[in-house]
Structure 1
Amino acid sequence: MDVSSDDYLQSLIETIKKLDYINPDDIPNIDLYMDQVTTFMDEHLKGSKRYSEDKLLTKTMINNYTKNNLLPSPNKKKYSKEHILLLIFIYYFKNILTISDIQHIFNPLTEKYYGGGNKEIGLEAIYKEVFKYEEDQMDNLLKDVIRKFNKSRETFEDVKSEEDREFLNTFSFICMLCFDVYVKKQMIEKLVDESILDAKKKIKKEK
């Protein structure tokens, strides 16, 4: 892998551009059986697969999400549009957060906004509001990746071996990307911990 190659950078950019979100208007307004849900998710998020044979969502995963109270139980074995919206959020969260952290985020989300209980705003409106910034975020992400890539090419300039320098450039690039993920993960965990603490304080006051 030649991290000094502009073609390599272009391939990364193309990979990032393939990472699209599911438009809520593309989600069926009719309830779906589990097989239909897994097929729908697989078709609409296939751009994020690492390997073509990867399964993005399985029956076992969905059952586990329900058992762990991340997902409300289906109605007569059928899943609504709101179920799918929650599954999309879970899909993105599970690569970064623990099941326990996702539970703490999802509990108030499902309690307050699932099933049309909130007259002011529902899950679909929340989903649309969050993801309408996707295009701007993608542009910012691309710019940041390009900046880190160019910075990584400036590392280890004194190394004479081209093979060693290419490897170390790649390693530098990976480290820069990993550090960014690490810092953001720490921030997310802090937000989750603070929300847990706030919830405990609220319960204590109510007693």
Structure 2
Amino acid sequence: MKTINELIMDLRMEKNITLGDVPEIDLYMDQVIQLFEKKFGDTTRTAEEKVLTKTMINNYAKGKLFFPIKNKKYSKEHLLIISLIYQLKGALSIGDIKNALEPINKKLVEDDDFNLEEFYEGYLQLAAKNGKVFKQFVHDQVEEAIEVAAQLGKEGEVTKDLNELLLILSFAQMSNFYRRIAERMIDERLKSMDK
């Protein structure tokens, strides 16, 4: 089995679509897919898993997760929004993603002064900090699981499998906490919009 450090490295958390990755010209759907596969292809769980497909993009468009495209081409702004969708889709439903991104899409359509690139750079800065916090958290959890496991049963009875299960449960629980707080924030925003 790989070490925790090797597993963290496998996550390739530093991978993100940067402003430099996005061409200034509009792209056709196949080019968008190619860009995402090139950037995130080695972050998938299996070799068969696709980062982005035509069906996914069409579903995002039908679900109005991003503002309408023109002439079957995706602008730099579309690519940045699709990148945000990609980051959100592992934790949130399509409906929640739509609600989360609605303010940005609205600003892009209605507000000529809104600078999506500046907003996206802010997101990338937070993502880099989150990666550092995550690495430290994982290492802290490994130590905590070792301590908890040492307190279980008779000395030497706790197997490596049980210790790993404690870690899996802890990581899954934290993932659920983060997802649930994001959902609550979306719910609160929707309530305030209804008033």
TM-score (normalizing by structure 1): 0.86
* 1:16-95 → structure 2 map (5 Å cutoff): 16-95=11-90
The correspondence of residues 80-119 of structure 1 with structure 2, limited to 5 A, is 80-112=75-107, 114=108, 117-119=111-113
Alpha-carbon distance, 1:156 to partner = 3.0
Establish whether residue 125 from structure 1 lines up as the match of residue 118 from structure 2.
Answer: yes
Name which of 172, 179, 185 aligns with 1:185.
Answer: 179
CA–CA distance in structure 2, aligned partners of residues 12 and 187 of structure 1: 26
Of 121-130 and 33-42, more deviation after overlay is shown by 121-130
Take 1:43 and 1:159, find their aligned partners in 2: how far apart are those partners? 50
Deviation for aligned residue 1:144? 0.3
C-alpha displacement of 1:161 = 6.7
Kindly state the Cα deviation for residue 115 of structure 1 after the two structures are TM-superposed: 5.1
Residue 52 (structure 1) shift: 2.1
* Mapped pair 1:148 → 2:146: no
Aligned to 2:159: 165
The C-alpha deviation readout for 1:51-103, integer Å capped at 9, x for no partner, is 12221100011011110111222211111111110101101111111111111
100-109 vs 140-149, greater mean Cα deviation: 100-109
Q: Distance in 1 between matches of 2:109 and 2:194?
A: 25
Letter in 2 for 1:84: L
Match of 1:198 in 2: 192
Question: How big is the shift at 1:47?
Answer: 3.5
| Residue in structure 2 matched with residue 204 of structure 1 by the alignment | none
Cα RMSD (Å) of the superposition?
Answer: 1.9
Q: What's the secondary structure of 2:65's corresponding residue? A: coil
- Letter paired with 2:182: I
- Secondary structure of 1:156's counterpart equals helix
> How far is 1:155 from its partner?
3.2
Counterpart code for 1:135: A
Q: Which runs of 5+ in 2 are unaligned?
A: none
Q: 1:205: which partner in 2?
A: none
Higher relative contact order (CA 8 A, sep 6+): 1
Letter of the 1:46 counterpart:
G
Instruction: Report sequence identity in percent.
Output: 30
